[in-house]
A and B are shown apart, each in its own frame.
Chain A
């Protein structure tokens, strides 16, 4: 019965730990998606570098803006030639133009996808009009909004899912403990009849619950160490930079704490509630 208790608790603690990891992985995926989003502002051909840098400075002061990157005309040309040097047609046409046809631009990144709207409306103010050629936000708007919608619903679904799973896991663990204590109901009654106080009776059950929870937590820790280590390289292929095992190692103490708390807490609280029912003699 104790083995069954530990096994069920391992499942429950695994769910709770998985939720903790899931929360972080989803955060990572969301931020890596958002990382890929930016808005570029192209400046008119005749605007000077000084003006552009001034705008850059002003944009940098907006709290929603995470990063502003200045790309000068020369840099834009250099990037283009580097990228397309194997394409003779493009290179020839560029040579035919004779001058650098590229515009200076600012690449703006906001912290979150929904903040671009505010940044763009700042740039659309009339006193920037004479400088700015175009803002590519409106071309990207549908993509940005879709990512924004996706990430927020992903997050929301994650939270709901995690709460439901955690509840189910806790209920299952509680029921297993309750069943094992059900077998002791006669003994508990006898203990009451010979004058044992409630704490004297509860004590051993609570200790047993705590020990079960402790071992379940240790087993879980080992399982997750092996699991994250095992799938680390495969996960890296799918999501570069995720570093599942590294995340596990760097959060080792926190994970251990979560597992011990949930294991011992589950064991003790379930025992407490389950024994209570039979103390009414």
Chain B
């Protein structure tokens, strides 16, 4: 489904973020990207979203070369991917509700559908009471939960989660991981980037370990070893 083929990304002048990275993610798979800060996890996700272009190598999404997708067609590709960004990337001028509903509006959902799904999703992430707060009025954990809700509400084929539990307390962390597992069971591919040792060890899912831009380990049942 997703294939990284000899991907190298160099930020000028000579910061090597990714160095000849190749791996494949199959449909419905749950993959963890493990590594220290600066290992290249976020860069990898940015390349998949076509937010940035690789210096060399190719990335395929459903057999489509992402670099060859024209700017005008990128939205279609991105609608198939739900992303939880490390820095949340919420729209500051919209409330939590509007931020999440925006993705539904983008895909052309009706008001009725939006209302129905929003009630459900807000309940799942536990933000029903804060739905009409603006991002600036939310805590880090709450913002992160808004970002998670936004990534999954339109039922994308893939969810990219970049440290989705970085700002959550253990209680909410467990909830979110359970949620991701559940979504995965329903058939959504999940790519989870994290440096949380407990999550990786307890999940028992495939883990790709990155170090200084290189894949150093790719195990079926991953453990956190650095």
Contacts and interface: CB of A to CB of B under 8 A. Distances in A.
Interface of A: 187, 190-198, 200, 279-281
Interface string B129-152: 000000000000000000000100
Given A200-B106, A281-B51, A191 B91 contact: yes
Nearest to B78: A195
Contacts of B103: 194-195
Contacts of A193: 49, 51, 78, 83, 85, 89
A203 to B, nearest CB: 11
Interface in B65-83: 71-72, 74-79, 81, 83
Interface centre among A187, A193, A281 (most CB of B within 10 A): A193
A52 B42 CA distance: 100
Given A279-B71, A280-B71, A281-B51, A195 B106 contact: yes
Contacts of B85: 193
7 contacts: A187-B93, A193-B49, A193-B51, A193-B78, A194-B78, A194-B103, A281-B51
B187 interface: no
Nearest to B82: A194
B8 to A, nearest CB: 22
Interface of B: 49, 51, 71-72, 74-79, 81, 83, 85, 89-93, 102-103, 105-107, 150
Give chain B's interface secondary structure class: helix
B89 A190 contact: yes
A275 B92 CA distance: 18
A280 B105 CA distance: 21
Nearest to B154: A195
Contact of B75 (A187, A190, A195, A280): A195
Nearest to A196: B106
A233 B226 CA distance: 88
Nearest to B108: A200
A197 B89 contact: no
Interface centre among B71, B75, B93, B106 (most CB of A within 10 A): B75
B106 A187 contact: no
B62 to A, nearest CB: 15
Given A195-B76, A195-B106, A280-B71, 19 more contacts: A187-B93, A190-B90, A191-B91, A192-B75, A192-B78, A193-B78, A193-B83, A193-B89, A194-B102, A194-B103, A194-B106, A195-B77, A195-B103, A195-B107, A197-B75, A197-B106, A198-B75, A200-B106, A279-B71
Contacts of B90: 190
Nearest to A198: B72
A281 B76 CA distance: 13
A194 B150 contact: yes
A281 B81 CA distance: 16
Nearest 3 A/B pairs, CB to CB: A195-B79, A195-B78, A197-B75
A98 to B, nearest CB: 97
Contacts of B93: 187
Contacts of A190: 89-91
Interface centre among A192, A195, A196, A197 (most CB of B within 10 A): A195
B92 A196 contact: no
B147 to A, nearest CB: 10
